Amino acid sequence: MPLRHGSAASAAALRSLRRATALVRSSVPLLVGGLVLPNALALAFGILAGVPARTSAIALYAALALLGGRLPGWALALLALPVIVLDLALAVGRMFFLDTDALLHLIDAGTLATLLATPAYAAGAAAVVGLALVYLAVLVQAGPAMRRGSRPVFAAAVAALLVGDGVVNGSTAYDFGALASVGQPFHSGSLASGFDALADQSRPPHRVLMVMVESLGVLRDAGQNGILTAPFDDPALRRLYTVTTGTSAFFGATASGEMRELCRTYRSHRQVFTQAFTQVFTGQTSAEDDPTCLPKRLAARGYRTVSVHGYHAGFYDRAQWYPLAGFRKSLFGETLAPRFARACGGPFPGPCDTDVAAVVEAELAAPGPAFVYWLTLNSHVPVPPGAATPRHDCGRPGSPFADREVCAMVEIWQDVFAAVSRIALAHPGTEILLVGDHAPPLWRRAARDAFEPGRVPWIRLAPLPVATAALP
């Protein structure tokens, strides 16, 4: 009897195993079409680098798969197209601190062509398109097979992927888009440093310079941060200026950083200046709706107000809203590029920041009081290798920056810092503020984690009385 009982138990176990195997086998098309294919690229990229959590996209792909065999294949593929676009928009937006509205306003044919000229972005785009075509083809052909899949098996797999995605990719380093500013107390480097108050002084300084440094984040390592800011430790500079530093919160991408530092608001330029256009046509004004931007306040006091940026005037609609913010003169890439024999590459190619520094200095040195605003360009991600003055043996043993990409960005920022230091020495008495627009949106998780999430640094160079007294 015991032997017969054991044989029966073994047979039952074998039958259960066969049923389970058959269940899983029948579920393969559903698992492939609902989870593997639509999420394969994000899974691979998440392992190699890092992506934001994609909870809504994973759930939508799973819901589409459950319609397999119930709808014609072509209808299922049509439904999948907007999900793919939404998935891509949300992932890219979170990586680069852009809300969907801002992303739609930025991406046009010209911008796409420029980005796709960058090998890293071109490879990513090719991978997205290729995998999307395979996914759509499977939806068209495999609907009936997907319908035969086990719902419990599929539900368990979806739950496991959602949990794993949240654990691996749920980093707060991505959660600083413009919408995250709602309900948050306002902070800016301009206010915290006292720089914004210069326009309200009874005797404002003769020269004022604000430098917004592209993707300048707060390094977690104090030693690395000290290396970055070394250009401002020059004893000659310290005899002329008091150097103070700090950090402030950021929300959104570059244009949000500009509105934060220039106009004392977390609202976007579209929100603020669309209202301004409306008020011009209706004759209605509202002090609450007027951000009282720093260049406008200084222009009212007789300053020449000049903006300098190496990219084209249409990006972020700067040609339209810069004059409304108070800039009487703006120099963009269209004007600057012909002045220089060389250009710097990257996803947004244009004049090299080290060359543009000479234009900034010339505008400061022109007769009369001046406020010059310089938005740098060359430290957009991904930074091409060898784009800056080599200082730190990037990628080699013994470098103070273990991560090669972080090291390359530091070298670009130091080129800007060195240029600003030279301007400060050449023109004593100049009030100077350097501030980051947002943390660097680096792709790899280790590189991104080298920076404090949600913070940008500011550096204020305030003239000492001896330097101010020397002014003509």
Domain with residue 255: its CATH number is: 3.40.720.10
- Same-domain check for residues 425 and 317: yes
Is the confidence at residue 384, as pLDDT, over 50? yes
- Same-domain check for residues 159 and 192: no
Residue 454's φ and ψ, nearest 5 degrees, are 80, 10
For residue 289, what pLDDT is reported?
Answer: 47
For residue 301, what pLDDT is reported?
Answer: 94
Is the confidence at residue 60, as pLDDT, over 70? yes
- Same-domain check for residues 340 and 462: yes
Confidence of residue 287 (pLDDT cuts 50, 70, 90): very low
Task: Order across the sheet with 370-375: list the strands.
Answer: 241-249, 455-463, 431-436, 207-213, 370-375, 304-309, 329-331
For residue 104, what pLDDT is reported?
Answer: 79
DSSP string, 44-81: HHHHHS-----HHHHHHHHHHHHTBTTB-HHHHHHHHH
For residue 113, what pLDDT is reported?
Answer: 84
For residue 279, what pLDDT is reported?
Answer: 56
Tell me the average pLDDT across 90-119. 85
The residue that leads in pLDDT, 381 or 22, is 381
For residue 101, what pLDDT is reported?
Answer: 79
CB 331 within 8 A of CB 307: yes
For residue 461, what pLDDT is reported?
Answer: 98
The Cα 97–Cα 3 span in angstroms is 67
Confidence of residue 120 (pLDDT cuts 50, 70, 90): confident
pTM attached to this predicted model: 0.89
Sole residue written with tokens 């070298």: 411
For residue 27, what pLDDT is reported?
Answer: 84
Q: How many helices (H) and strands (E) does the chain have?
A: 21, 7
For residue 280, what pLDDT is reported?
Answer: 47
- The amino acid that residue 395 corresponds to is G
For residue 4, what pLDDT is reported?
Answer: 56
The Cα 164–Cα 157 span in angstroms is 10
Residue where a domain stops, chosen among 120, 154, 170: 170
- Same-domain check for residues 160 and 186: no
- Same-domain check for residues 125 and 185: no
- Same-domain check for residues 386 and 345: yes
Burial grade of 422 (CB within 10 A; 0-12, 13-18, 19 or more) = middle
180's CB contacts (< 8 A; 6+ apart) are: 251
- Same-domain check for residues 193 and 165: no
- The amino acid that residue 188 corresponds to is S
Residue where a domain stops, chosen among 170, 201, 217: 170
Q: If you ran DSSP here, which 8-state letter would residue 438 be given?
A: S
The residue that leads in pLDDT, 173 or 460, is 460
The Cα 333–Cα 327 span in angstroms is 16
Neighbours of 356 (CB within 10 A): 27
Confidence of residue 307 (pLDDT cuts 50, 70, 90): very high
Tell me the average pLDDT across 362-380. 97
Is the confidence at residue 408, as pLDDT, over 90? yes
- Same-domain check for residues 152 and 226: no
Tell me the average pLDDT across 75-82. 96
Range of the domain at 452: 178-469
Residue where a domain stops, chosen among 170, 187, 208: 170
The Cα 265–Cα 276 span in angstroms is 14
- Same-domain check for residues 194 and 309: yes
For residue 358, what pLDDT is reported?
Answer: 97
Sole residue written with tokens 């017969």: 4
Sole residue written with tokens 């503020």: 433
CB 429 within 8 A of CB 364: no
- Same-domain check for residues 37 and 135: yes
Confidence of residue 46 (pLDDT cuts 50, 70, 90): confident
Is the confidence at residue 469, as pLDDT, over 70? no
The Cα 398–Cα 404 span in angstroms is 12
- Which of 444, 333, 345 minimizes the C-alpha distance to 388? 345
- Same-domain check for residues 186 and 138: no
Q: What is the mean pLDDT of the chain?
A: 89
Tell me the average pLDDT across 141-163. 92
Is the confidence at residue 290, as pLDDT, over 60? no
Tally of domains within the chain: 2
The three-point CA angle 3-9-13 to 5° equals: 145
Which run of H or of E encompasses 256? helix 254-263
Which run of H or of E encompasses 374? strand 370-375
- Same-domain check for residues 140 and 222: no
